[in-house]
Structure 1
Amino acid sequence: MSTVGAESGGSRRYTLGDWNNRSSVRNKKTLYALPPAAEVQLQLRTKGWFPPSFIHYFAHPTIEQASEQTRHRLAANHLVYFLNYTTILEHKIVNRAVETLIHDELRIELPHAMKIAALQLYTDEGYHALFSYELAEQVARFYQMPPWDVPPKRIRLLLDLLDTASDESRPLLWFLVGFVSETIIAKELLDLTGDTLVSTVYQMFREHLEDEARHSRYFSEVFQYLWPRLSSTQQLASASHLIDIILVFSEVDEQWLAASLAGAGISAAEAEHVIQHIVAPQARARRARAGATTTLQAMKRAGFFEQQAHRELFSVAGLIDA
């Protein structure tokens, strides 16, 4: 069901499209339980925990030349980190962004269907946080991973950015964070499910993607609805914030990655070389631009780039061509 447009003529717009029958929290009964250890080991002969093509540092010669056991452990580390990050992102970031729509914090009149869909999306995200948390616990137990209690770098940076906003402008900034997050994560999960993964992990990502594809469309449409209703001052401030947010979602958590590499037996010198390779400014810019493809398309449809000032800002940031 297409969700593009405004409420008119009795048609349902700004919806999540047959949510009662399609949302994973409503119709899936999956437990996302790992098989017995012996079955997991058997699957790992031909499958992985996380697609190597999505783990940027797996292309580094040090990791390419590592043993299969080391690469499996690094991928498992990455999976657990990603799932724990997802739990926090969905629960503390995206759902807070959705609240700005549900509770009229933006002070812009919204269609009724948009608010209902926001409540449905809020429910989805709570479930995503739950199954991400539970699967992360299982994989961590499988490898007896030490706990990692430091909040993910991207979460810290997003919260720092939100703390700098005034009380008046913060609700809009929350929405923009949710918009970027949901349009980026859907693309990430699409990339994730293209590879051969351990069966439980694949199923979780596949069903998560089905929800997130609808969420991405929804946030894109809400952005298109809100953008022309913002003042020119709000639009210009939002343009700068959008760059900051997109760049945050391309950040590498160096502290966690150093610990992950060390735990898998990579020497400190080799680990430093791996990390420096992927945190280089050019590498970061490439990740940001590639990851934000859906976000930038939604902004273009909303007329964002019709303003020369906005195009210049994004060109200077390396997110679009000059």
Structure 2
Amino acid sequence: MTGASSVPEFWARRFTLGEWDTRASVRASEHTYLLPPDLKQQLETRHWFPPAFLPYLSHPSIEAAGQSVIHRLSANHLVYFLDYTTLLEHRIVNRAVETIVHGELDVSIPPRMKTAALQLYTDEGFHALFSNSLAEQVAGHYGITQRPAMPRRISRLNALLDQAPDRHKALAWFMVGFVSETIIARELLEVCRDALVSSVQEMLRDHLTDEARHSRYFSEVFHYLWLTLNSSQRTFTAKLLVDIILLFFEVDERWLKASLHSVGLNNAVIADILDGLTGEQATVLRARSGAGATLQALHSAGFFDLRANQQLFAQAGLVDG
């Protein structure tokens, strides 16, 4: 990278998580995230996971099966989401944060950027803790034992990172963290709009409060880094970002098939459900809808000022040409 000498001085005054000592959930939250004693009553009007994120719940065969099946499928998804989140925070996002903290990006790191990165690292450890705690409770409540040790998205991210050339490895790790944190803030915002089981609602709202700051932080760091990248690094970054963004909106087909099987749905119904969710076009549509914060961060950083980047993302279907 070209170094920070070409970066305006005002950047050194940015990169904070804003009153982290008193606002971060790891410092301020009083929630226990325990399943409520009136869980049965809550499930009469609340959900384990927002139905809007599980469009297959509206399939005629699932609706006909009744609320108990809908709740079980939602619980399956919640446990899967929480297990995935635990791995994502520990093994992906915090590894991305390490590239900032330990100077792996070969660019001058302003003190505030490093301090905020260390705070963010602490947040993500707490997110992994409460995600795992709630996942264990819900899994125990329903007797959910089929929990993938490695969700497909984590495996796909690891494979993508393994393919990155050594000279770009740290940059690739940061970009995965950047996309993850800008996407999850939007996801959590949408998730929190629904009436959920109280402990789930509390956990997701605490998570959202933190991730809104993380999204802003990663967006600012991306902007800072983008100004320092040379032509080769920018070309690598642009192509990698397309792959990362699309990857985040793929469906874990094997897990979903197993979840649907677990409630007794037949193969024809499962095939019909998967047909509507899988495939390149379905992935692109989900990405265009869910990656808005990521795309806005790219726009704000001047990423799309390069015509080649605009064309690359348009060709992938992520933006209009």
Q: TM-score, normalised by structure 2?
A: 0.95
After TM superposition, the structure 1 = structure 2 runs for residues 33-72 of structure 1, keeping only pairs within 5 Å, are: 33-36=34-37, 39-72=38-71
CA distance in 2 between counterparts of 1:57 and 1:140 reads: 21
What is the number of residues matched between the two proteins?
Answer: 315
Once the two structures are superposed, what CA deviation does each residue of 1:73-114 show, in whole Å capped at 9, x if it has no partner?
100000000000000000100000000000000001121100
CA distance in 2 between counterparts of 1:254 and 1:224 reads: 35
Once the two structures are superposed, what CA deviation does each residue of 1:24-67 show, in whole Å capped at 9, x if it has no partner?
0011132111023xx11110001110000012323434334431
Residue of structure 1 equivalent to 2:112: 113
Residue of structure 2 equivalent to 1:283: 282
SS in 1 for 2:166: coil
Residue of structure 1 equivalent to 2:197: 198
Residue of structure 2 equivalent to 1:29: 30
SS in 1 for 2:167: coil
Equivalent residues of 1:91, 1:129 under 8 A apart: yes
Percent identical across equivalent pairs? 56
Residue of structure 1 equivalent to 2:148: 149
CA distance in 2 between counterparts of 1:7 and 1:71 reads: 54
Residue of structure 2 equivalent to 1:13: 14
Partner amino acid, structure 1, of 2:101: I
Residue of structure 2 equivalent to 1:217: 216
Residue of structure 1 equivalent to 2:268: 269
Aligned-pair CA distance for 1:148: 1.7
Once the two structures are superposed, what CA deviation does each residue of 1:107-132 show, in whole Å capped at 9, x if it has no partner?
01121100000000000000000000
After TM superposition, the structure 1 = structure 2 runs for residues 100-249 of structure 1, keeping only pairs within 5 Å, are: 100-249=99-248
Equivalent residues of 1:6, 1:14 under 8 A apart: no
CA distance in 2 between counterparts of 1:189 and 1:6 reads: 33
Equivalent residues of 2:148, 2:255 under 8 A apart: no
Q: Which runs of 5+ in 1 are unaligned?
A: none
Misfit runs of 4+, over 2 Å: 5-9, 56-66
Once the two structures are superposed, what CA deviation does each residue of 1:148-170 show, in whole Å capped at 9, x if it has no partner?
23411110000000001122210
Residue of structure 2 equivalent to 1:253: 252
SS in 1 for 2:74: helix
CA distance in 1 between counterparts of 2:44 and 2:264 reads: 21
After TM superposition, the structure 1 = structure 2 runs for residues 294-305 of structure 1, keeping only pairs within 5 Å, are: 294-305=293-304
Q: Which runs of 5+ in 2 are unaligned?
A: 1-6
CA distance in 2 between counterparts of 1:127 and 1:7 reads: 33
Cα RMSD between the aligned structures? Answer: 1.5
Q: TM-score, normalised by structure 1?
A: 0.95
Aligned-pair CA distance for 1:181: 0.1
Equivalent residues of 1:7, 1:13 under 8 A apart: no
Aligned-pair CA distance for 1:12: 4.5
Residue of structure 2 equivalent to 1:82: 81
Q: For the structure 1 residues 65 and 166, does the alpha-carbon distance in structure 2 shift closer, same or farther, using more than 3 Å as the test?
A: same
Once the two structures are superposed, what CA deviation does each residue of 1:194-249 show, in whole Å capped at 9, x if it has no partner?
00000110010011000000000000000011101000110011000000000110
After TM superposition, the structure 1 = structure 2 runs for residues 302-321 of structure 1, keeping only pairs within 5 Å, are: 302-321=301-320
Partner amino acid, structure 2, of 1:289: R
Equivalent residues of 1:153, 1:251 under 8 A apart: no
Partner amino acid, structure 1, of 2:177: G
CA distance in 2 between counterparts of 1:304 and 1:168 reads: 21
CA distance in 1 between counterparts of 2:137 and 2:244 reads: 31
